[in-house]
Amino acid sequence: MEIHHASHRGYLKIGTEEIGIVEIPCAVLENKKRIISQTGLFAAFNRPRKGEKRQEGLPSIIGAKNLVEFVNDDVLERIQPIHYYHSNGLTAVGYDAELIPLVCELYLDAEEKGVIISSQEKIVKQAKIIIRSLAKVGINALIDEATGYQYDREKDELQKLLSKYIQEDYLKWQSRFPRKFYQEAFRLFHWKYDPFSLKRPGYLGKFTNEFVYNELPKGALEKLRDLNPKNGKGNRSRRHHQHLTEEIGIPHLDKHLMRLITVMELSDNMTDFKTKFGKVFNKPIQTQIDFEEM
């Protein structure tokens, strides 16, 4: 028998203040499967755990003879007990959390066919409450919130995404920003452009961060700053783009620069550019750069 470890634990609250709120023990396992405790399945429907199993292998909550025809393959897959270590070190038994909405659907289907008996009417009522609770947010999301796993999940997913764009090692330097980018930036800022000079005003770096690197996935710019920090003189030893991956990061940058330069070419000044940028990239621009002071 395989026994899993739970990385996060908590209590899922189901119900309303009018009829009462039930707290269901839940957990997220190390394999990221969300589970509810065995007793929690019955508690979710305000039903005691005891009861005769009318059908072999089915929990009593769905084992009544009038319900058997509504037990589909999805239900059968998720009623398999899952063993895991409880916080006290003892083993506990639970079910895949997706079993809760499946049980709700089972009872609602039975009601629609008119086979519900009087002793099951309370369960049907509770099933409708649960379904409404899950209408906007799924059971997994509710468990993630209840256990605090959502924060680790978001962090983990962000790191996986950033790893596709950014690498610890850096590429050999090569010109990545087209000359047209600098020509248009100088024009918009009303600076004199010398095509033979590599000197760039410091403010151009802020502009590049704001309208280029900030358009990478969330957290990418912060990651680039960590990998490529400023030295004691306030300079960076490499260009940020040298840390972008050749498979995804660089192509994303190149595609973005093409769109960005087009917006720059169509803009008369920085105020006009900011407006057009917001429209093209579908976002309100609240830039850190105070263009009015430039």
What tens digit of pLDDT does each residue of 234-291 get?
888 888 888 898 888 889 999 999 999 999 999 999 999 999 999 998 876 554 444 4
Residue 1, pLDDT > 90, answer no
In this structure, the answer to whether residues 204 and 111 fall within a common structural domain is no
Domain assignment present for residue 154? The answer is no
Who has greater pLDDT, 283 or 108? 108
Share of the chain above pLDDT 70, in %: 84
Q: How many helices (H) and strands (E) does the chain have?
A: 11, 6
- Model pLDDT for residues 118-132, shown as the tens digit of each residue: 999 999 998 988 887
- What average pLDDT is seen over the chain? 84
From 147, 171, 192, give the residue that closes a domain: 147
In this structure, the answer to whether residues 140 and 164 fall within a common structural domain is no
In this structure, the answer to whether residues 99 and 220 fall within a common structural domain is no
Residue range 33-50: mean pLDDT, rounded: 86
Domain assignment present for residue 53? The answer is yes
Residue 294, pLDDT > 70, answer no
In this structure, the answer to whether residues 217 and 108 fall within a common structural domain is no
Three-state helix/strand/coil letters over 116-142: CCHHHHHHHHHHHHHHHHCCCCCHHHH
Give the β-pairing of 34-37 and 3-4.
unpaired
In this structure, the answer to whether residues 50 and 177 fall within a common structural domain is no
What's the pLDDT score for residue 14? 78
- Model pLDDT for residues 56-67, shown as the tens digit of each residue: 678 888 989 999
In this structure, the answer to whether residues 70 and 93 fall within a common structural domain is yes
What's the pLDDT score for residue 290? 46
Total structural domains in the chain?
2
Q: Give, in order, the Cα–Cα distances in Å from 98 to each of 26, 94, 143, 169, 238.
A: 12, 12, 11, 42, 49
Domain assignment present for residue 169? The answer is yes
What's the pLDDT score for residue 293? 37
Residue 97 pLDDT level (bands cut at 50, 70, 90): very high
d(CA 285, CA 271): 11
In this structure, the answer to whether residues 167 and 237 fall within a common structural domain is yes
In this structure, the answer to whether residues 43 and 117 fall within a common structural domain is yes
Q: Is 109 exposed, middle or buried (0-12, 13-18, 19+ CB in 10 A)?
A: middle
d(CA 29, CA 84): 8
What's the pLDDT score for residue 292? 39
In this structure, the answer to whether residues 180 and 251 fall within a common structural domain is yes
Domain assignment present for residue 48? The answer is yes
Three-state DSSP class for residue 14: strand
d(CA 266, CA 200): 22
Give the β-pairing of 91-96 and 34-37.
antiparallel
Residue with token string 């070419």 = 265
- Model pLDDT for residues 134-182, shown as the tens digit of each residue: 765 678 788 888 888 877 766 666 666 777 777 767 666 667 888 899 9
The domain of 230 spans 160-293
Does the global pTM surpass 0.75? no
Contact 84, 3 (CB under 8 A): yes
Domain assignment present for residue 12? The answer is yes
Residues in the chain: 294
Give the number of other CB atoms < 10 A from CB of residue 107.
25
What's the pLDDT score for residue 124? 93
- Phi-psi domain of 114 (left: phi exceeds 0; alpha: psi -120 through 50; beta: other): left
What's the distance, CA 159 to chain centroid? Answer: 11
